[in-house]
Structure 1
């Protein structure tokens, strides 16, 4: 039995993993899908204090209070920033890192550094809620960027997406244990369309190790292709 912790990306909550989590649990595994503070069902906790470090602590507390070890820690999109920070500070609890069409930061990078044009466009349409600058406002416009086309899925998502605090995207990731972090195996599950835009050396290393899988779908691959994502995740404990 494996233990999975699945971290959502910007504007999403743990709800986005419902379909993937169901498949993993039916296969007999433990699955945790924490929602980060200030989004999803925790949007009522939004404040100007919430940044990348805050979200990293969110996940570390789940690992600590649930007594989780040898975890397969996966992050989608912005969640790649979070899981990298978590693995840096809680290395002893992480058995494997999985980047789900996610940011793959190096020390000193923010998501705004990695995706400057997308973050600038999002910030131009932002707002202020509870004293916090928020971006990725829910509405029809963001949906194409998530690659979701099924009308039922769009309706479902629209009822759950929330704005996201911009500080999370602007704050740079500061790593303290890069050597230990580098020893944790990594798997990359990416959308076929984003593969050409990713770090060639990182992708080549993952491919050579048999830890790169691409799925021909939109960015929210856990919603549009949950069976394919779950199939990849199920292969990790034996990879």
Structure 2
């Protein structure tokens, strides 16, 4: 039996993993979906002090004394989740990056975006979020029309649930840079690419794009699950099957 530690990305709580978690439990495994400080059902805890180190503590606490852990990180969970993995390599069997990748030392989540999108996100933090929060995106049909790639595969009911349950993100999680040790543990790593093909990912690695440079080292396996950016909602059965095969 393995222990699957499932970490949500920005805006959501552990509920986003409910169906995937059920399928993993039905297969006989332990599942720990992480509740992160300041988002999801813990949104009321969002203070200026909540940052990457806060979420690192949340994730390491969730791992606890478990062994044979498969740590599954979605999207914006990558910086805190990777830092937690760097601290506890002896407990991990594998790290799985769901439509995300580990960032190099010094790179912040916001830097994944092109310059115009970075500027817009900073504006939203300063104006709508009063310098403390990044408001959630709309998650409505207009949003899906504007961004059909990220929101692919989601039904109207999915969007309604996301819209109702999304919460603003503590700004430090968006702005704080990744901090990696000089010696990075050699834990086996898997990328599940949802909005990119593996060939596209490899091309971006070869081009030296900063957000993809950490995918160049040894120890990686890559696979595809063609859908939008939230495969735990759009294709939970297929995502669970990939996780069970690891």
**Normalised TM-score (structure 2):** 0.83
Q: Distance in 2 between matches of 1:20 and 1:119?
A: 32
- Residue 116 of structure 1 and its aligned partner are, at CA, apart by 4.6
Q: Distance in 1 between matches of 2:15 and 2:97?
A: 18
Between stretches 38-47 and 209-218, larger displacement belongs to 209-218
Aligned residues: 229
Between stretches 120-129 and 109-118, larger displacement belongs to 120-129
In the TM superposition, 1:2-17 aligns within 5 A as 2-17=2-17
1:190 to 186, 189, 193: 193
Distance 1:120 1:227, change over 3 A: farther
The C-alpha deviation readout for 1:175-208, integer Å capped at 9, x for no partner, is 23633x2x100011011536525424765767xx
* RMSD over equivalenced CA pairs, Å: 2.4
Q: Which residue of the partner structure matches residue 89 of structure 1? A: 87
SS class of match (2:167): coil
Q: Distance in 2 between matches of 1:187 and 1:228?
A: 15
Q: Which residue of the partner structure matches residue 209 of structure 2? A: none
CA contact (8 A) 1:24 1:31 kept: yes
**Normalised TM-score (structure 1):** 0.86
In the TM superposition, 1:135-214 aligns within 5 A as 135-139=134-138, 140=140, 144=147, 145-147=150-152, 149-176=154-181, 178-179=183-184, 181=185, 183-193=186-196, 195=198, 196=200, 198-200=204-206, 211-214=221-224
Q: Distance in 1 between matches of 2:104 and 2:220?
A: 22
Q: Distance in 2 between matches of 1:210 and 1:133?
A: 36
Q: Distance in 2 between matches of 1:24 and 1:14?
A: 15
Give ranges in structure 1 of 5+ residues lacking alignment. none
Q: Which residue of the partner structure matches residue 78 of structure 2? A: 80
SS class of match (2:67): coil
- Residue 7 of structure 1 and its aligned partner are, at CA, apart by 0.6
- Residue 142 of structure 1 and its aligned partner are, at CA, apart by 5.4
Give ranges in structure 2 of 5+ residues lacking alignment. 207-212
Between stretches 190-199 and 217-226, larger displacement belongs to 190-199
- Residue 138 of structure 1 and its aligned partner are, at CA, apart by 4.7
